[in-house]
Amino acid sequence: MIASIGLEVHVQLRTNTKMFCGCPNRYGGEPNTHVCPVCLGYPGALPVINAEAVRLTVMTGLLLGCRINLKNKFDRKNYFYPDQAKNYQISQYDQPLCEGGQLEIQLKDRTKIIRITRIHLEEDVAKNTHFGDGSGIDFNRAGTPLMEIVTEPDMDNEDEAFAFLTALKQILAYADISDCNLEQGNIRCDINTSVRPTRESPLGTKVEIKNMNTFRGAHRALAHEIQRQIREVQRGRAIPQETRRWDDDAGVSSSMRTKEYAHDYRYFPEPDLLPVELTQTQVDTWAALLPERPPERRERMVRDYGIPDYDAGVLAADRAIADYFEKAARLSGKGKAVSNWMMSEMMRLLTATGQEIGAVKITPEALAALVALVEAKTINQPAAKEVFAVLFEQGGDPQQIVQDRGLVQVSDTGAIQGLVDQVLRENERSVQDYRSGKEAALQFLVGQVMRISKGKANPQLARELLLKAIGS
């Protein structure tokens, strides 16, 4: 049996204000404090389209290779529910902002294209909370801009769906389209799944699982749902068209409603709004401001900085990290060295301290200067690590830190020769070990030179002088 999965991904857009009124589009706040007559659906209040939300949706469409409908419109989707202030949602029905398009996802051994059906803009609903003795509705979220991305049923399993969501999130974060904070519900999805015997068979009856808040949850729900459907079919049962709810704690899904109870949304054009008319010039202007997408950036960074593809992939995954890297790499001219610092110390310390790259004290300028100090052999690698740690913790100028801590590498042959002589005197046993073929003894001797130099000796020079003294 083969599963076919299509997603409807709801993305909260990063705008200052709500979709149709001037209230702040901000997560949290005391309940019902970011509200006005418009988003509360008061008598006589009228919607006005948020132009920034339109721009962000068009940007998303451009990033996903969609066709932008210069003429599009909003419609009313009618249904009664307490989280809906007007008991209709302003959405886009038959003329969405974007149609067509695709997103490439990364699987273990290959990439795969997932087709995008459409992207439209609508308003989010309020949040219901149930108490022991009643229910409360918080309208702070009501009317915030929500972009819905609908895919074709191109994903075969839960891993592909997960990869799609991950890749989509990366692009949305890259272009500052959404904060992409899953805990705050910035990205939620409905999943449509069906199974069929072979790829040649027509699609099976689809089952919709509503309102998944995490990618992990979507993955688990899908794994469960696909197995459930296969079991049903193998037992000779038909899959009814229905909407199901996933209980992530219990790891089971249950039916919400079947087709007979499907809503008739009675869509019709929103008479309070004029159709949206964009110009090609406007769209072109926005297109020119599109950020490079992660896959292209990865390739370019390999070319521009001569770094390994794997490193480029890791760095390009996050726009802020990639920006940081490129700035430091350009300043220092040593892309590979900068990449090494990013991949090792920077990533390790970011993870350990839970900091964002945008908030770190070590500036790209300081990192470039640190790389220069190493390249010039002013300091050696262990000293550089120490300096990096100080920069990460406190910031500042690497040169100054090297001075203050007396970390300047000793590369004076005379001075190091004295140390080498001392080490040879005190470690005759190791000298003999080396001469009898124990290569590791040389490393020990270099280590001793470093120890008595308090880490300041140039290790290459120490090694050369040692070899010269004990012969090879």
Partner 1 sequence: MAELTQLTLHETLDALARGTCSSEDVTRAYLDRIAAVDDRIGAFLHLDRDQALADARAADARRKAGQGGRLLGVPLAMKDVLNVKGHPCTCGSQILKGYVAPYDATAVARLRAEGAVIMGRLNMDEFAMGSSNENSSYHPVRNPYDLGRVPGGSSGGSAAAVAADEITASLGSDTGGSIRQPASFCGVVGVKPSYGRVSRYGLTAFASSLDQIGPFTKEVADAALLTEVMSGGDPLDSTSVPGPAPELLATMKQGIRGFRIGLPKEYFQGGMDAATEALVRAAVKQLEALGAEPVEISLPHTEYAIATYYIIATAEASANLARFDGVRYGNRIAGVDPIDMYEKTRSAGFGNEVKRRIILGTYVLSSGYYDAYYKKAQKVRALIRRDFDEAFKTCQAIVTPATPSAAFGFGEKTGDPLQMYLSDIFTVTTNLAGICGMSVPCGFAGGTLPVGLQILGPAFREDNMFRVAHAYEQATAWRGKRPPLAVDAGRTGA
Which positions lie near partner 1, rule CB under 8 A? 37, 40-49, 76, 78, 80-82, 85-88, 137, 264, 266-268, 271-274
Report in angstroms how near the CB of residue 11 gets to partner 1 at its nearest. 24
Q: Which residue bears the tokens 């895919």? A: 151
Q: Closer CB to partner 1, residue 267 or residue 444?
A: 267
At 103, which helix (H) or strand (E)?
strand 102-106
Structure tokens of 345?
Answer: 């110390």
Q: Closer CB to partner 1, residue 200 or residue 260?
A: 260
Q: Closer CB to partner 1, residue 266 or residue 438?
A: 266
Q: Which residue bears the tokens 């702040």? A: 24
Q: Do 204 and 1 form a contact (C-beta atoms < 8 A)?
A: no
Report in angstroms how near the CB of residue 36 gets to partner 1 at its nearest. 8
Q: What does residue 418 show for φ and ψ, rounded to 5 degrees?
A: -60, -45
The DSSP secondary-structure symbol of 24 reads B
Rounded to an integer, what distance in angstroms lies between the CA atom of residue 443 and that of residue 423?
12
Q: Closer CB to partner 1, residue 142 or residue 387?
A: 142
Report in angstroms how near the CB of residue 161 gets to partner 1 at its nearest. 30
Q: Calculate the alpha carbon distances from 294 to 105, 297, 341 in Å.
A: 12, 5, 21
Q: Closer CB to partner 1, residue 145 or residue 204?
A: 145
Q: Closer CB to partner 1, residue 87 or residue 227?
A: 87
Sign of the CA dihedral with 427 first, then 428, 431, and 432 last? negative
Q: Closer CB to partner 1, residue 139 or residue 305?
A: 139
93 Cβ contact list (under 8 Å, min separation 6): 75, 77, 267
2 forms beta bridges with 196
Q: Closer CB to partner 1, residue 272 or residue 426?
A: 272
Report in angstroms how near the CB of residue 211 gets to partner 1 at its nearest. 18
Report in angstroms how near the CB of residue 119 gets to partner 1 at its nearest. 22
Structure tokens of 17?
Answer: 């204000």
Q: Do 301 and 316 form a contact (C-beta atoms < 8 A)?
A: yes
Report in angstroms how near the CB of residue 48 gets to partner 1 at its nearest. 5
CB atoms within 10 A of CB 2: 17
Report in angstroms how near the CB of residue 273 gets to partner 1 at its nearest. 5
Report in angstroms how near the CB of residue 253 gets to partner 1 at its nearest. 23
Rounded to an integer, what distance in angstroms lies between the CA atom of residue 405 and that of residue 384?
11
Instruction: Classify each residue of 111-131 as buried b or exposed e, where b means 16 or more C-beta atoms within 10 Å of its C-beta.
Output: eeebebbbbbbbbbbbeeeee
Q: Do 44 and 252 form a contact (C-beta atoms < 8 A)?
A: no
Q: Closer CB to partner 1, residue 1 or residue 273?
A: 273
Report in angstroms how near the CB of residue 79 gets to partner 1 at its nearest. 9
